[in-house]
Amino acid sequence: MENNMNNKRDFKGVWIPSEIWLDKRLSAFDKVLLVEIDSLDNRDGCFKCNSSFADFMQSGVATVSRSIKKLKELGFIDTVMKPHKNGTSRVIKVVRAPQSKCVDPPNQNDSQGNTIEGIQEEGNKNTLKASAFPFESFWDLYDKKNGRPNSEKKYNKLSEATRQQIFNHVPRYKLEQPNKKYRKHPETYLNAEAWTDEVMVDALSAKQTSDAEFLADYEKRMGIS
């Protein structure tokens, strides 16, 4: 059972220290999930269940479970079971916090944090906000290194919501078009707003014995897990 009081946040943005952002052991998914856990880890810990994390991350529950296990094995979080009148609840405590509760993030020239890519204009116009989906991650995810300057300029004008749509679409687009020779150039993909296109996954992949097996196979092929 989740404690709704522990699903409330009290922060204006997210700043991820360089030691976490540049940790090659962590995928982009792991880093965003760690920030989400930290934002909900108040004095009593984070009570959010895996299905709720999956809804927030727009992923499968199995992907969340693997990521939480990985974060725990690497020492970023710890989990305990706490009893209550209806049974027990899992509580997640962040051991090495990504400082998502930071009210005054470092400036753009701060060498200790990741690159600041956006400015949050709600409330204090000087409050800086780091994107959870920076261009560098998109560039690596898309994996067709052509026309970077124009692609980066276009990408950095996109909203955070649009970037998230792109990150959800690109792995499926790559599954549809695994040969990068025939994949759209990144700039073309962005200019055409191709993330809104329907993805036609090949029939052979779609006929896996179950949705769970198809998802696990897809995530393995895309390097999401």
Q: What is the pLDDT of residues 134-162, one digit of tens each?
A: 899 999 999 999 999 999 999 999 888 89
Domain ranges of the chain: 1-102, 133-225
Locate 90 and state its tokens.
Answer: 């899992």
**pLDDT, position 224:** 53
Q: Report CA-CA distances (Å) from 66 to 50, 84, 95, 131, 178.
A: 10, 26, 18, 24, 25
**pLDDT, position 39:** 83
Residue range 217-222: mean pLDDT, rounded:
58
**pLDDT, position 189:** 94
Whole-prediction pTM: 0.41
What is the CATH number assigned to the segment(s) 1-102? 1.10.10.10
Q: Length of the chain, please? A: 225
Q: What is the pLDDT of residues 18-69, one digit of tens each?
A: 888 888 899 999 999 998 888 887 777 888 899 999 999 999 999 999 999 9
